[in-house]
Structure formats: structure tokens, C-alpha cells
Amino acid sequence: MTSEDQACDAASRRPVEDEVDVVAEDTKKTAKGGKDKKKGSFWRELPVLIVVALVLAFLIKSFIVQAFYIPSESMENTLLKNDRVLVNKLVYHVRDIERGDVVVFSGVDSWDGEVQFEEPSNPVAAFFHAVGTAFGVVPGEKDYIKRVIGVPGDTVKCCDDKGRVTVNGVPLDEESYLYPGDVPSQKSFEIKVPKGRLWVMGDHRQVSLDSREHQSDPGGGTIPVDQVIGRAFVIVWPFSRATTLPIPDTFSQPALGAAAALGGAVPLLGGVAGAVPLVLWRRRRRARR
């Protein structure tokens, strides 16, 4: 047997274990290389994922739902200071604002803030403050949250002989949401809510700087409907206080709407009543001619 044949015979008798070890080593190298590629791919994609998430959050916040921070005690005990609420920004595209709704609105160029804030000291702080405001982490300087008491055409008055706020002559039973120990109002007022505006009040009447405190402003304390950002419909933070914010039963009294409708119909009926004699007089005059 030649030396060449001996070498081939030795190679053919190599242990199977050696071949398994070689295959296993190659597999480990391949697996390690795959993990490295996946890890590198993740870090390359992370900035894109962050940007997409921020864009989606911005779109949701701008058009659908936005979180708001409660900065004051003016809505206690319905809302406590430092609560976070979600505001539905679509609801008023499908229905009108209703009495009893808790709304967030902008007070830009109208009301002064209830809580004073220090302006951010530098552009970086201003940027993070703006982001925090957008996502309900910090309060906005010109955003307010109140309860709608009167809608356009309503006559809101305080108080009747039992100390209650009335809307179109109908008294409101506010015990379910009014701050314990508060009276409906310590200040007397009466206003007919102009077209396109709302009369709003806080649930903690003794500390709320609401429509009552702005009667000397244009609109007599009412706010523009088009400044309403949306309806607060749920408390989301803290979790222990998570709950919905429904319209209180007192605002479902049929007499509220009936009185408002009647009030709007009175001028029309008066006009018709005045026009009938005039038409009859003209007909008689023509008949004589």
C-alpha cells in the first residue's frame, strides 16, 4: 500500500465526533453573526420608530384625544389638583355642546390665568415645557377647564328664593357635583348667553375664577364656542381616581330645553301677532278702493 493510500484510509477513518464539532462551531459562528446583524438593525431602526411614534401621538393629540393636567382646585371635588383627564376633540363635530359638559377651552386673549406660571428660562426648557403641555404632563398657561351651565340663548341667573342657580327659570340641583359646603354662588348675576358663547362655572364655586368673575370683560363673562378644545370625559391619573365624567342628571330636565325654545319663539310669535292686524288693514283698504 502506498503512502497516498494510507493517508486516504486515515482520513476515511476520522472519528464522527470531529465532524460534529466542526459543524457545531460553524453553526455557532453563523448564529452569532445573525444576532449581531439583528442587534445592529434594531439600533438603526430605533430612531425611525421613535419619530413614527411621536408623529402618531401628535396626530392623535391634535385631532382625536388629548391629555390635560388639572392645575388648580376650581373643579373640586369632581377634579382634583394634579389629576390628568382625557379630552375628546371630535365630539363637538357630531353634536352641540350641552349643559353640564366639562369642557377644556383656551383663554388666549381673554381670561387671565387662574394659576401663575414662570416662563421657561431658555429655549430647551421651553421646548420640553411645550411637549409636556401637549401630552398633559404639565399644565398649559392659557387652558381652562369648567362646567357648561348655559348655552347660547339661555338665561342664567342666581339666585332664586332657595339660593339655586336657574337656567331659563328652571332651578338646578347641583348637590351631586358642587364642592361640599359651597353655595351655588356668593355673587348675584343674570345674563342671557349670546349666540356663539357659553356661560361656564367651576364646581368649587368659592375659589373658581369663572364666568362670574369676568362679567366686565367682552361677552359679559361668557366664552366663545370656537375656543372650546373638547369635552373632558374621563380621569386617567391617578389610577385610584380613574372614572368617567358624565353629565349630571339635573341638566336632563326637559323644562330646560322647553324654556329655551319658548324663549326663542316669543319674538317670532310677537312678530306674527303684530303683522296680522297690518295685513288685515291693508286688505280692507284695497277693498274700499
Distance CA 155, CA 270 (A): 19
Question: Is-contact 212 187, C-beta < 8 A?
Answer: yes
What does the alpha-carbon distance between residue 14 and residue 11 come to, in Å, rounded to a whole number?
Answer: 5
What SS3 class is residue 193? coil
Please identify which of the residues 72, 89, 146, 185 carries the catalytic annotation: 146
- Grouping H, G, I as helix, E, B as strand and the rest as coil, residue 228 is strand
Selection from 206, 202, 233 nearest residue 68 by Cα: 233
Q: Which residues contact 268 (CB under 8 A, 6 or more apart)?
A: none
Residue 146 is among the residues annotated as catalytic for this protein: yes
Residues 266, 254: Cα–Cα separation, whole Å: 18
- Which is the catalytic residue, given 74, 185, 208, 211? 74
Q: Residue type at 67?
A: A
**Is 39 considered catalytic here?**
no
> Which of 69, 75, 19 lies closest to 245 in space, CA to CA?
75
Q: Running DSSP on this structure, what letter comes out for residue 101? A: -
- Rg of the chain over Cα atoms, rounded to whole angstroms, equals 35
Active site residues: 74, 146
